[in-house]
Amino acid sequence: MLEAADGRLAARLPEGVLRPVQERYLDEPRGRYHGQAGLVAAPRSVEEVAAVVRACAEARVGIVPRGGGTGLVGGQVMETGPAPLVLSLERMVAVRALWPEENVLIAEAGVTLAGVRQAAEGVGRVFPLSLASQGTAAIGGACRPMRVE
């Protein structure tokens, strides 16, 4: 359900970033957790990500980043509390640059692990992280910051 605050936030987001709040943004592979969201935004650039984060901070709306949604511990869903904005990286899927001599690859956060591995293999290198979920899991999800209590 769209709250009035979500409507005000929506009006401040970059044009074209909003997506319908669909089930695929609220679930996780084992069905143990089920999320909620007031809005779903899928930015296309770093600038749009920054604009979404800025607008959410000003509106005091929480953000849940979402890569492939394959995490098994429920980090990609928020079950309770004020409905967040789900920030989906599904449209940021470019491998921007490769420097094989330096062993450096620059990928946007939504590129799948399989995509990163394939790009590295294309220049004779191995990206050495391989998961059963690599066709769906994104590099941003794999590199997310971990909080240690």
Judged by the rule CB under 6 A, the positions of this chain that interact with ligand FAD are 29, 64-72, 75-76, 89, 109, 131-133, 137-138, 140-142, 144
Q: Shortest gap between Cβ of 87 and ligand FAD (angstroms)?
A: 8
* Closest among 143, 21, 40, 130 to 91, alpha carbons compared: 40
Q: Shortest gap between Cβ of 77 and ligand FAD (angstroms)?
A: 8
Q: Shortest gap between Cβ of 123 and ligand FAD (angstroms)?
A: 23
Q: Shortest gap between Cβ of 62 and ligand FAD (angstroms)?
A: 11
Of all residues in the shown chain, the one whose CB is closest to ligand FAD is: 141
Spell 91-107 as b/e; 16+ CB within 10 A means b: bbbebeebeeeeeebeb
Q: Is the dihedral of CA 16, 57, 68, 102 positive or negative?
A: positive
Q: Which is nearer to ligand FAD, 55 or 111 (CB)?
A: 111
Q: Which is nearer to ligand FAD, 36 or 133 (CB)?
A: 133
Instruction: Tell me if 80 sits within 8 A of 90, measured CB to CB.
Output: no
CA dist 129 and 149 (Å) reads: 25
How is residue 87 written in tokens? Answer: 């920030």
Three-state DSSP string of 120-139: HHHCCCCCCCCCCCCCCCEH
Q: Shortest gap between Cβ of 4 and ligand FAD (angstroms)?
A: 26
Q: Which is nearer to ligand FAD, 39 or 142 (CB)?
A: 142
Q: Which is nearer to ligand FAD, 31 or 124 (CB)?
A: 31
Q: Which is nearer to ligand FAD, 66 or 117 (CB)?
A: 66
